[in-house]
Amino acid sequence: MLRALTRRSSSSSNASTSLLFRLFPRSFFSRSSPATARNIRRLSAAGTTGRELFLRRDLRLLSAAASGQFSRAVSTQTAPSYPAAVLMNENVGKDEAERLGFEKFREEFISECKSKAVLFRHKKTGCEVMSVSNDDENKVFGVVFRTPPKDSTGIPHIMEHSVLCGSRKYPLKEPFVELLKGSLHTFLNAFTYPDRTCYPVASTNTKDFYNLVDVYLDAVFFPKCVDDVHTFQQEGWHYELNHPSEDISYKGVVFNEMKGVYSQPDNILGRITQQALCPENTYGVDSGGDPKDIPKLAFDKFKEFHRQFYHPSNARIWFYGDDDPVHRLRVLSEYLDMFDASPARDSSKVEPQKLFSGHRRIVEKYPAGGDGDLKKKHMVCLNWLLSEKPLDLQTQLALGFLDHLMLGTPASPLRKILLESGLGEALVNSGVEDELLQPQFSVGLKGVSDDQVQKVEELIMSTLRKLADEGFDTDAVEASMNTIEFSMRENNTGSSPRGLSLMLQSIGKWIYDMDPFEPLKYEEPLKTLKARIAEEGSKAVFSPLIEKFILNNPHRVTIEMRPDPEKASQEEAEEKNALQKVKASMTDEDLAELARATEELRLKQETPDSPEALKCVPSLNLSDIPKEPTYIPSEVGDINGVKVLRHDLFTNDILYTEVVFDMGSLRHELLPLVPLFCQSLLEMGTQDLSFVQLNQLIGRKTGGITVYPFTSSVWGSDVPCSKIIVRGKSMVGRAEDLFNLMNCVLQEVRFTDKQRFKQFVSQSRARMENRLRGSGQGIAAARMDAMLNAAGWMSEQMNGLSYLEYLHTLEQKVDQDWEGISSSLEEIRTSLLSKNGCIVNMTADGKSLTSTEKVVGKFLDSLPEKASGGQVTWDARLPLRNEAIVIPTQVNYVGKAGNIYSSGYKLDGSSYVISKHIGNTWLWDRVRVSGGAYGGFCDFDSHSGVFSFLSYRDPNLLKTLDIYDGTGDFLRGLDVDEDTLTKAVIGTIGDVDSYQLPDAKGYSSLLRHFLNVTDEERQIRREEILSTSLKDFKEFAEAVDSVRDKGVAVAVASQEDIDAANKERSNFFKVKKAL
């Protein structure tokens, strides 16, 4: 996964882009996932409980992160409390460290994460090791190398993919995939940044954790790829020629991944920004690889890169969790002692970019569709390199607060003024970026008219000038302070391990030979900053920062991106022309040899490892797996006639709550308005409060409020589950404020601000267009679901291509019939708000839950007794047909799906094991490895019965559909031994038992309640998983055949590839042009 400087997306509402507040990097490239979704092998929307629900791993939750409709990104987890006595016993004595070849040269207790951190140095190689000890069972390991590239051939990115394709101790094709299949990992991936490469793993099971550690250590230090050109060709690039009479093409996983990246305008802007700001150092090239340059990379250079940089002397190693710190050093010494010191640490240093003496301007083009008014599709972004030297923590913290004040919420002045100006549709590439050596700041707009570009620049500069002169509103400063401090103390890392978040924060300084402890310790700098604001006033703190780092900073680059409907086809033509020249230069013997080499590579890719080779990868036994699922404490009660679910869990004095309303009374035609209704609740004002005041009040009093729709099929029922969920959190002592503000949002907000609503529509359209380009597999999946079941149709109306089409129409309608739209928004409210059918879900410790009952009762009593309108029947579908959605792209997203319940399949837990195995073997090998796509995967929605196949950044179309159709034959011909079957079962249990923090546990329990998933049924499915046999695989082939025979295909692809497909298979696709 390549880490790129794309900053926040146009729809982001992150609390801050600063590394100090951001717990994970926003976008980077990895071995198994796109920047927009941590793991493309799973389709869960951000915010779902995913695999934890057990009966389905990708419920349609239009969460804040997924749909961008809501007022702020809400962190959702609490900091663990670790007994200090335990930590103080986790010592590694000096003599013990010396015996293992390490010197201990720094040790601190980090109160912010209740951990003891010890920094060791390996005496022989100089490798530094950070050993962080606490009682967090979710253990994390990571090894990080500084890997600055000199060109844009993508060598660090290709290396990151390749080292995990077999090693000295594990000489099979892809140990990484074997770990995906059969471990209990809570994190397993790798990242390539512009200047470093990270290899992190995590697990709650100690035996499994050290299995992962050993595979990764052997992979990075002793990979097979440096002696195997086939791996380089597979993961990087190669010429492919099936027959001497055919055309030559480029293939390679990274090559096609980057073609997808370079098809997205926001990503293109991010790369141009980084390279324009730092043209003289390593950031002036693309570590991920430019598709035009990747074919220039030679194998010898690839090998030398590993020799130069993948050495312990150039490594930083991280351990975190409740495992034995002595054992950590013991494991490391076995590897590190095999090396001598290397000059790699010196040769890999990143030199700073010297500041410019004056402003620069760049104009570039991006690929655009031919539809719409292209004169209104420009992007303009102003970018600053803030300092020639890294900033001290106090300044960095203050800049992070400043960033949040200016851009972090819809009420933030710079963001608000830009969006309300009417000069553009949405923010792009905006915020502070401080994960690299020198911090940067950018702010820009997309959807700008060609004659308004200069006005955008002037507005940005004049607004910054005004903010420097006048400062910020006191309530805004208080809201930002509370929001950021709440987030830092709560330590939100989503579904990913906290230890990984800390590692990435620490490495942001450590990798540049600075203090790795400093980023982990925010209490003192935060205390100092708050004291300065209290004593001097916020203007004295923030205005000098705006003056120094932005207004008076000559290192500014303005980038204008112009739409070009011909660019995509021109680039394809240039690539074809280059390949034709290559073929023309070859003799008949050369062509025959290339065809032979192509077949040789394909044969190697499609030949499975022997059972003997597979046994070398360490794995758990079934005896290591609990026979029962994890149970969440849950009590169903009643407050004033409303059902209340209570989850007695330690949450560090934070109350997490969801208030849920049924959508059963909503008229069909209002459904596409629901996401905008949700946004309006949080971003329009009341009679007494402007939306800015309301937003600030939420920020000052709570940890955040979000509102979003949720839909899913329900197993055994024809009636879909459709809800509106209001999520909020606060300190327990602020529970009354939280519920009062929820009531204000739900009942007092007025739908009267036409201009703001127009902004919402424009922002939503821009976001959906960006999603279509960057996450086409999600659009294809939603489209197929909408053809196959009612819940899918509902979801697609609110977050799919139908929604995008609706937004295009709505933009015109706002001016023509605002009164009607406003009335429709009010009708949605009256159709939803009701005590009847309402559910309240609360997660906190028992005492806190009891203390909030009166507050909850008061809130519920304020709700209407009944909703307006009668119950509506939801049974709509899109027409069942093969569909191709045309966008300007260099890669495709290919899907096929069918309802296997309709063909007679009866749900069994073995289906989870089988679908996971299909994805990790057949689809991985055929779609990704030999097909060259970045990803190929399948998903079984056991609630609806829909079994779907999907590919991501795929150079193929019909070929991929043929692979899907061959799945049944693959299963029938399968011959798996007991070890392989055991791995598949264990890997599935790892999905089901994924690590959860308290708020996620409470939320999972709520969704199970909606979907009638009982603990008894979870136990039955678990037993079926554990007893899965080869016979189950063979029998499932018939179910998969029904997808082949009766399923529907949807592709998001280029016009050229769709035309070729329809020519090869006459009118196979019904074509829809989207962009």
Catalytic residues: 160, 235
Strands 883-886 and 1048-1053, by their bridges, are parallel
User: What single DSSP character describes residue 591?
Assistant: H
**Segments of 580-720 assigned E as strands:** 635-639, 642-648, 654-662, 704-712
Terminal alpha carbon distance of the chain: 27
Report the C-alpha gap between 372 and 812 in whole angstroms: 13
- In whole angstroms, how far apart are CA 146 and each of 24, 199, 515? 19, 12, 16
Cβ atoms of residues 9 and 39 within 8 Å: no
Q: If residue 239 lies in a helix (H) or strand (E), which one and from where to where?
A: strand 238-240
Q: Per the structure block, which two tokens stand in for 42?
A: 């799973």
Give strand pairing partners of 581.
none
Tokens of 757: 């609503």
Instruction: Compute the distance between CA of residue 1006 and CA of residue 1019 in angstroms, rounded to an integer.
Output: 18
Residue 850 has phi, psi (to 5 degrees) of: -65, -40
Instruction: Choose among 944, 687, 924: nearest CA to 178.
Output: 924
Residue of 917, 915, 908 lying closest to 983 (CA atoms): 917
d(CA 318, CA 310): 16
Q: Is 557 left (phi over 0), alpha (psi -120 to 50) or beta?
A: beta
Q: CB neighbours of 438 closer than 8 A, spacing ≥ 6?
A: 278, 352, 353, 385, 386, 387, 388, 389, 390
Nearest to 49, CA basis, from 998, 1036, 1049: 998
45's tokens: 């929307």
Contacts 24+ apart (CB under 8 A), 969-977: 969/1037, 970/918, 970/922, 971/914, 971/918, 971/1033, 971/1034, 971/1036, 971/1037, 971/1040, 972/1034, 972/1037, 974/1030, 974/1033, 974/1034, 975/1030, 976/1030, 976/1033, 977/611
Letter string b/e over residues 126-162, b meaning 16 or more CB atoms within 10 A of that residue's CB: bbbbbbbbbebbbbbbbbbbbbbbebbbbbbbbbbbb
Q: Could you tell me where the DSSP H helices lie in 205-286?
A: 206-221, 229-235, 253-261, 265-277
- Cα 572 to Cα 575, 579, 960, 1047, 1057, distances in angstroms: 5, 11, 20, 31, 11
Would you say 687 and 767 are in contact if contact means Cβ atoms under 8 Å apart?
A: no
Q: Report the length, in residues, of the chain.
A: 1075
* Contact between 309 and 342 (Cβ < 8 Å): no
Helix-then-strand count for the chain, H and E: 40, 30
Give the CB-side neighbour count of residue 833, counting CA atoms within 13 A: 23
Q: How far are the Cα atoms of 644, 751, 1038 from residue 147, in angstroms, in the given order?
A: 53, 52, 48
Single out the residue of 112, 116, 101 nearest to residue 320, CA to CA: 116
Q: What is the DSSP letter of 892?
A: B
Strands, E assignment, 156-205: 185-188, 191-192, 196-203
What SS3 class is residue 314?
Answer: helix
Cβ–Cβ < 8 Å for 126, 345: yes
Contact indicator for 254, 625 with CB cutoff of 8 Å: no
Q: How far apart are CA 530 and CA 536, in angstroms?
A: 10
